[in-house]
Amino acid sequence: MNAARALKVALPLGVLVVLAIVPLSATPYTNYQLSLVGTFAVAILGLNIVSGYAGQISLGQSAFMGVGAYAAAFGVAHGWPVVLSFVVAALLPAAIGALVAIPAVRLRGNALAVVTIILPIIAVPLAKRYAGVTGGSEGRSVDWAHVPSGTGLEDDQWRYYLVLVIAAVLFLLGRNILSGRIGRAFAIVRTNEAVASAMGISAHRYKVVAFTIAACYGGAAGFLYVLVVQFASPDLLNFQVAINMLAALVIGGFANLWGAVIAGLFYVYVPVVAGAVDPSRTNIFYGAVVLVVLFIVPGGVSGGIVRLVRALLARLPDRYRRFTGVDPQAGPASPVPPQPDASGPEPTPPSLRAGAGSRKEPQ
């Protein structure tokens, strides 16, 4: 195991440890906001899977999140077991996503994005109409997920930990899906559909898979939302939520797991910082920053960091480079993370190539 590999394991673990310590001393409001970051990170990870990894822009993620939230709130209000609420909150949106995607993926690329708008546009009036299930325009409040007595924690800390654990599991699951066969199929579908079908990979099928997974993550995030906010309302379904999530994802970084986390931070904190002055600032900030990102750092914040780290590592002397596993010949990293099991032979270990035109070891 080389240093880069070790870093890949150590970094998430380190982040998790820090995240586990933070809520013990933070204010309840900070814990609430951080729980929301985790919630939206999960929803945006779903969006990242369909839009970032599989290359299909979706403007409907808020609808899946909203359906998940309503399912969770409905389950809680009717005294369902928590696990059942979670399963329904995740699977109902997934089923809707699959049902819409199966016919929709036949459309030409651009038209697909248009079709995805339909979901939030129709979901909002439907949610208001069926007040018996959804609570109508006011939404449905619930009172649950209180900390078990004897733990010494407060409600906000308890909910934070629940979100942290569920989000961590979902991210791990996502990482495994994306680094395997399905992830490689997404990459080729995104790059060139014709090549994908020539390789025997059905673009249609994998787009449906991507939409379904995205909807499932959206639904799970809806469950987390109800856990944190104790409330589900038509505002969550709104089209505006979906496009702001997409904007946050572009800033965080397409096709990168950390991109979804950074996007979650942006999604929750930008309105807090910008909106304190003037609500229209949030939109100006999002619009301008997304354009800047597209112009200057196509990989977003996470892609930019990856590039920066590689550039720094590449400047290390040879004997260190051997341990970091960074190939100085590779140049700046592409915004897309390398596919681990991409076809073709293993790249030559850098140590075997050391000295081939690279910088001399300083004495």
Partner 1 sequence: MQHAIQQIVDGLAAGSIYGALALALVLVYRATGMINFAQGLLAVASTYIAWSVWRAGSPLIAAVVLAVAAALVLGAFTERVVIRRFEGGPPHTAVVATIALLILINGLTGSIWGYVSQPFPSLFPSGTVTVGGVVLAIPSLATTGVLIVVVVLLQLLFLRTRLGLALRAVADNADSSALSGLNVGRLLMVGWALAAALGALAGVLIAPKVYLDPTMMDTILVYALAAAVLGGLDSPLGAVVAAWIIGVTENLAGTYIPYVRDDLKIGVPLVAMFVILLTRPQGLFGRRKAARV
Element (H, E) at 67: helix 61-77
- Closer to partner 1 at the Cβ: 191 or 329? 191
Smallest gap from Cβ 176 to partner 1, in A, equals: 25
- Using alpha carbons, list the distances in angstroms from residue 360 to 310, 324, 332, 356: 18, 17, 20, 10
DSSP-derived letter for residue 140 is E
Smallest gap from Cβ 25 to partner 1, in A, equals: 36
Element (H, E) at 337: none
| Footprint on this chain of partner 1 (rule: CB under 8 A) | 51, 55-57, 59, 103-104, 106-111, 113-115, 117-118, 121-122, 125-126, 128-129, 192-195, 198, 239, 243-244, 246-247, 250, 278-288, 290-291, 294-295, 298
CB within 8 A of 319, min separation 6: which ones? 361
Instruction: Count Cβ atoms within 10 A of the Cβ of residue 281 and give its class: 0-12 exposed, 13-18 middle, 19 or more buried.
Output: middle
Smallest gap from Cβ 269 to partner 1, in A, equals: 17
Phi, psi of 141 (to 5 degrees): -95, 145
Rg of the chain on CA atoms, in Å: 22
Smallest gap from Cβ 171 to partner 1, in A, equals: 23
- Closer to partner 1 at the Cβ: 173 or 294? 294
- Closer to partner 1 at the Cβ: 5 or 106? 106
Return d(Cα 28, Cα 81) in angstroms, integer: 27
Terminal-residue alpha carbon distance, the chain: 27
- Closer to partner 1 at the Cβ: 127 or 226? 127
Neighbouring CB atoms inside 10 A of 106's CB total 11
Q: Where does 179-299 have alpha helices with state H?
A: 181-191, 193-198, 203-229, 234-237, 239-252, 257-275, 279-296
Neighbouring CB atoms inside 10 A of 80's CB total 16
Phi, psi of 140 (to 5 degrees): -120, 120
Give me the numbers of helices (H) and strands (E) for the chain, helices first please: 17, 2
CB within 8 A of 302, min separation 6: which ones? 252, 253, 256, 258, 259, 262
- Closer to partner 1 at the Cβ: 29 or 295? 295
Element (H, E) at 178: helix 155-178
231 in helix, strand or coil? strand
Cα 159 to the center of its chain, rounded Å: 20
